[in-house]
Structure 1
Amino acid sequence: MTISFIRTLLLYIVIIAAVRLMGKRQISELQTSELVVTLLISDIAAIPMQDTGQPLASGFIPIAVLVMCEIVISALMLKSTKFRRLICGRPLIVINDGKVNQKEMRRLRMSTEDLSEQLRQKNVFSIEDVAYAIIETNGKMSVIKKPDKEQPTAGMLGVALPDTGIETVVISDGVISDFSLQLCNKTRDWLDGVLRGKNIKAEDVFIMTANRKGDFNIIKKDDQQ
């Protein structure tokens, strides 16, 4: 039992390291080669986890080889557009200038229900509102609405909006994040001043967010409210 636990823990660490080397992507954003490697790694790791008679090297070595292959393939795709197109394919336009491209839909084996579903996920509820819809190489859809169907932006209306920068979580469950403070151009002294002004200690804060302008929001822990 102890051996199985240790083997599983080691393989878990190796898989995390492998995924970190391949980069951060959600499953829906994986390219073809990345998805294949991810599936193969899960299958390979399961064998030495279940069979303690198998040496751990039978899991480590194939995983390392797959990660190296993925890194090499990624580098080649950066260098060669043709190679990238061979591995990942190319984006396909399913709605072109407001017209549904039935040929491309048949090629993708995409039904009208699939098209409508993906448009709804983009907050588009009528095909007539779409100028272009493109299926990217990772399977996700990009949508460009017709100009008269787009919502007006502040720039179009001539309204100048203040740039408050990114809002970051500077305190999470009592723990201060120096990285988040740097993102919003704030210092520990600024944070200490805000907390003193509110008569709150950092360990009493559940969430505190802030932005570059200096706006902040503090939510205390339940047992402190």
Structure 2
Amino acid sequence: MTTILKAAAAYLVVLFVIRLIGRRTASQQAPMDMVVLFMFGGMSVSAVLGDDHSFVGAMSALFTVGLMHVGVSWLRIRFVWLERVLDGTPIVVFRTGRFDETAMRRLRMQQADVRTAARQQGLDDLDAVAAAVVERDGTISVLERE
């Protein structure tokens, strides 16, 4: 029973910490971001299972995390406010030729990230960009001027 409670707690803690870290880890996967995610997994497993190296213990933890994920997904659908807390909302970081430095600092983004996203959409000059929005999953959507 303690394995199940530890797995449930670990799921919630890792979810909170990943949300706290921000969108960059979820979407861009720089090497340092991948290291953090792998370390989370390793630390969580040792914290949940401890000295229990049994198959039943591991499967209990696995099913608990899976059920926690299903439960949290269901709660996100049912309660819009929880979806906003867990997934965030789109954030405009560039509009009408100006960067929103405050939003970019909060997201730990650089202007180069927006310029890269614009180039990936075939826009070499930011004068052709109406707005750039960091989506909930961390990707950058670039809206072209008309």
Other-structure match for 1:129: 128
Q: Given the alignment of the two structures, is residue 119 of structure 1 paired with residue 118 of structure 2, yes or no?
A: yes
Other-structure match for 1:139: 138
Q: Name whichever of 63-72 and 107-116 sits farther off.
A: 107-116
AA matched with 1:65 = T
Question: Displaced runs of 4+ in structure 1, greater than 4 A?
Answer: none
Other-structure match for 2:108: 109
AA matched with 2:128 = D
Other-structure match for 2:74: 75
Deviation per CA, 1:76-117: give whole Å up to 9, x if none: 111222101111121110112443222211211211222222
What TM-score does the superposition give when structure 2 sets the normalisation length? 0.62
Greater relative contact order (Cα < 8 A, sep 6+)? 2
The CA RMSD over aligned residues, in Å, is 3.0
Query: Structure 1 residue 44: deviation in Å?
Result: 3.2
Other-structure match for 1:94: 93
CA contact (8 A) 1:41 1:63 kept: no
The percent of aligned pairs where both chains have the same amino acid is: 23
Unaligned runs of at least 5 residues, structure 2: 1-25, 29-36
Q: Aligned equivalents of 2:140 and 2:113: distance in 1?
A: 11
AA matched with 1:144 = L
Query: Whose helix fraction is larger, Structure 1's or Structure 2's?
Result: 2
Query: Structure 1 residue 129: deviation in Å?
Result: 0.9
SS of the equivalent of 1:65 reads helix
> In the TM superposition, what are the counterparts of 1:186-201 in structure 2 within 5 Å?
none
CA contact (8 A) 2:130 2:145 kept: yes
AA matched with 2:72 = I
Query: Structure 1 residue 40: deviation in Å?
Result: 3.6
AA matched with 2:77 = L
CA contact (8 A) 1:44 1:63 kept: no
Deviation per CA, 1:125-165: give whole Å up to 9, x if none: 21111111110111101111001xxxxxxxxxxxxxxxxxx
Unaligned runs of at least 5 residues, structure 1: 1-26, 30-35, 148-225
> In the TM superposition, what are the counterparts of 1:43-62 in structure 2 within 5 Å?
44=45, 54-62=53-61
User: Are the structure 2 counterparts of residues 54 and 66 from structure 1 closer, same or farther at C-alpha, using a change threshold of 3 Å?
Assistant: same
Bigger radius of gyration: 1
Q: Aligned equivalents of 1:42 and 1:121: distance in 2?
A: 36
Deviation per CA, 1:186-216: give whole Å up to 9, x if none: xxxxxxxxxxxxxxxxxxxxxxxxxxxxxxx
What TM-score does the superposition give when structure 1 sets the normalisation length? 0.42
